[in-house]
Structure 1
Amino acid sequence: MAKPGDKQHEQRISMGIVVDAYTEEECAMAWYCHLEDGLTFPFEARVRQTMPASPLRTGEKVSVTGLAHDQLCRVAIFVRAQHNERELLVPLAQLVPIRADQSTRLAVSDWHYWCDQGYSF
């Protein structure tokens, strides 16, 4: 069943983020630029799910300090995060902002929607 915000996510993503992206690389760069513009660092986040690409576990908290290098984000979006005095690179899809501005919350929400729908670059 569709959620009330699904049409808004679809509209924002298709007409505002990936509108001119015709290849996988263009799509990855469109998302990277969108998130670079929309995310305000640092922000506190909670791990929403355990993922194979990350040592973090559900419920843990991290401080997100920036996007990973654009070359690393050609398959998925990764961010730099501080956890227990260590800097990690973790998938943004794994994190939910808990102390962040509205722009950051919206950008991450769009990315979660994209990932949860099974879309890829």
Structure 2
Amino acid sequence: MATTPHDDEREQRISNEIIVDAYNSDEERMGWYCYLEDNLSLPFVAIWDEQTVEVVGISDEDECRKEMRVDIRYSEKNRQDVFSVSLSEINPVDTDETTNEAIADWKYWVGRGYEFSEGEEDVFF
């Protein structure tokens, strides 16, 4: 069920720029992956799980089979780890407009209840 109100401008961008010509879920994932790769200014600081983290990259395609994910650098007690988290759980801090818009587009997609379409699966990338 959609929890996010309909936004015509965002719908047009998603349809005409991100998943244009996508005929199955793998093509939709690839569209999103490429869009995020082109529009996220990495690295950037974000809030995740009430912690300040550094987003250092988009997770590899295997991690993004069901949702878009990013790799974060997380520091705790003199130890740093890098691991994958859902992009929808990330809140950017002082990032550029393009990065903010790309993350907002993904959160909109999730908030509207959209999922990668079912259909004949191809090998992703």
> TM-score band (shorter)?
0.7 to 0.9
Equivalence map 1:28-107=2 (5 Å): 28-47=29-48, 57=49, 59-84=50-75, 85-107=80-102
Q: Hey, what does 1:16 align to over in structure 2?
A: 17
Unaligned runs of at least 5 residues, structure 1: 48-56
TM-score under structure 1 normalisation?
0.84
- Say yes or no: does 1:110 pair with 2:110: no
Instruction: Find the counterpart in structure 1 of residue 26 from structure 2.
Output: 25
Counterpart amino acid of residue 13 in structure 1: I
Q: Distance in 1 between matches of 2:115 and 2:53?
A: 25
Normalized against structure 2, the TM-score is what?
Answer: 0.81
Q: Secondary structure at the match of 1:99?
A: coil
Share of identical aligned residues, percent?
A: 39
* Structure 2 gaps, min length 5: 117-125
- Name segments (4+ residues, structure 1) moved above 2 Å: none
Superimposed CA distance per residue, residues 2-48 of structure 1 (whole angstroms, 9 cap, x where no aligned partner): 36xx111111101111111110111011100000000111101112x
Number of residues paired by the alignment?
A: 109
* In 2: Cα distance, 1:46 partner to 1:117 partner: 22
Higher relative contact order, structure no. (Cα contacts within 8 Å, ≥ 6 residues apart): 2
CA RMSD of aligned residues (A): 1.4
Q: Following TM superposition, by how much is the alpha carbon of 1:89 offset from its aligned partner in structure 2, in angstroms?
A: 0.7
Distance 1:71 1:2 in 2: 30
Deviation for aligned residue 1:71: 2.5
Question: Which protein has the bigger helix share?
Answer: 1
